[in-house]
Structures are given as C-alpha cells and as structure tokens.
Amino acid sequence: DARVTQTPRHKVTEMGQEVTMRCQPILGHNTVFWYRQTMMQGLELLAYFRNRAPLDDSGMPKDRFSAEMPDATLATLKIQPSEPRDSAVYFCASGLVLGQAYEQYFGPGTRLTVT
Amino acid sequence: KQEVTQIPAALSVPEGENLVLNCSFTDSAIYNLQWFRQDPGKGLTSLLLIQSSQREQTSGRLNASLDKSSGRSTLYIAASQPGDSATYLCAVRQDTGRRALTFGSGTRLQVQP
C-alpha cells in the first residue's frame, strides 16, 4: 500500500529555531508539492517540484523558507528562523505526471507549533 | 486568480439522508477537479477526480458532477452514515500556469446516528 510519509508528525519549537520537515513521496512519483493549512487561510501551496527541479515556489516566504529535493525519495522544507505565525499543518503530496493527467496523494502532515 | 468556494461551510444531517455538497470556482479554465476528505487531525484522502472533459464520476455511494462552463461541481453522498462525518474539500487544477491545486475552505459534515 504505497503512501506518502512525513516526519516528524508533530513539532513544537521556540521562535528563532530552525525547523526541518521531511517527506518521502510515493516511489515512482515525479512531482512533489508542499502545502500549508491554517484555520484562517485554509490550504495554500508553498512550492512544488517536478523531477526534483523546483517549478514554483512563489507561495513561500523566501526570506525564511527553503524547499529542496536532495534525491527522488526525499523532499525537505526548512524554516529558519521560525516564527509563531508559521504554526500550521504542513502537508506534502506527490503525483505521477503523465502528460497532463495526474492525481495528488497527500501525506499525514506535520503539525508545527512555534512558541 | 482562481477562487474556490464551498457551500455550506457546515452541515449536520441524520443518518440515511442523501446530501449534496457544492463547490464553485471563478476561472473555468481548469484541467481537473478533485474532491478530498479530511478527518480531524489527519491528512487528505482523494475521493474522486474529474477531468475537465468529464461530466461526472462515481465511487460507491459518492457521485461528483462537473459543469465546467458554469464553474460548479457537486458531491452527492447517498444514504449517509456516521462514518461519513469529516470535512470535504474541493480543489481545482488550472489548465495553464500553476499546476498545483487551489482548494476551497471545505464543508464540515456531521452525520448523526
């Protein structure tokens, strides 16, 4: 049963600390997305990758957020320095793009609390 | 900029009722539309994916329709059960430009036993 995995599931940290979230996409999927969910804003796209190359990171605050795919089995989202307003659930999703058609599969999320 | 709206925001029904959740989007140049379910504290589970060329998709007690020209989709749930209680999210993917999904704010469904 292939699924997207994310670690950690929960993270509590103090303001100013670095936070790294990790995602393992479904094997064989070539597109990875990072979303953020808050009560106020709902689900928002932060960044996405195709074949490990960043295609769009316009949803991400550039000064403190960075997203990378060191290899095809790992995507990371880093926040440095973290702020209380970054508290949210961060979801990773993956999909296999064939032409135009694909479906996105979501991981369980990382619940981040910055105090 | 694409905007996705879901009505109602919350819905409570007795078990066994048939119900309809609504989704509307402002830009009809979409490639597909996806309905998700989210349980409290959990991730999203894809329920149905409708390509822009399709009118509807069915899976078990769920039926999703798409009227691309009018910017609307509905999710029909037949014979609702308490286990259907969750938040249902609608999301669209554009035909051009950004390929990621734009989400609605969801409909929180409670099915009373």
pLDDT at residue B7 in the model: 92
Between A67 and A103, residue with greater pLDDT: A67
Q: In the block, which residue shows the tokens 């795919």?
A: A69
Name the DSSP letter for residue B113.
-
Q: What is the mean pLDDT of residues A9-18?
A: 97
Whether the CB of A54 is below 8 Å from some CB of chain B: the reply is no
- pLDDT at B98 > cutoff 90: no
B103: confidence class by pLDDT, cuts 50, 70, 90? very high
Tell me which chain B residue has its CA closest to the CA of residue A40: B105
Nearest Cα residue in chain B from A39:
B105
Whether pLDDT at A98 is above 90:
no
CB A67 within 8 A of CB A82: no
B11, B109 Cβ separation under 8 angstroms: yes
Query: What's the number of CA atoms in the CB half-sphere (13 Å) around residue B7?
Result: 4
Average pLDDT of span A85-104: 84
Q: Does A65 touch chain B (CB under 8 A)?
A: no
**Closest by alpha carbon to A43, among B100, B74, B50?**
B100
Dump pLDDT digits (tens) for B11-52.
999 999 999 999 999 998 888 899 999 998 888 998 999 988
- C-alpha distance from residue A3 to each of A16, A21, A103, A113 (Å): 32, 17, 13, 25
Q: Which two tokens stand for residue B104?
A: 């609605």
Residues with Cβ within 8 Å of A75's Cβ and at least 6 positions away in sequence, in order, are A22, A23, A24, A25, A32, A34, A49, A67, A68, A69, A92
**A29 pLDDT exceeds 70?**
yes
- Residue B30 or A2, more confident: B30
pLDDT-derived band at A100, boundaries 50, 70, 90: low
CB B102 within 8 A of CB B30: no
Task: Pick the more confident residue, B41 or B98.
Answer: B41
Q: Which of A49, A87, A85 is nearest to A67 (CA)?
A: A49
According to the model, what pLDDT value does residue A101 have? 59
pLDDT higher than threshold 70 for residue B59: yes
Query: Tell me, what's the pLDDT at B54?
Result: 92
Confidence label for A99 from pLDDT (cuts 50, 70 and 90): low
Q: Are B49 and B64 in contact (CB under 8 A)?
A: no
Percent of chain A with pLDDT over 70: 95
Interface test with B, best of A45, A102, A104, A112 (most B CBs within 10 A): A104
Strand partners, B90: B35
Q: Is the pLDDT of residue A111 over 70?
A: yes
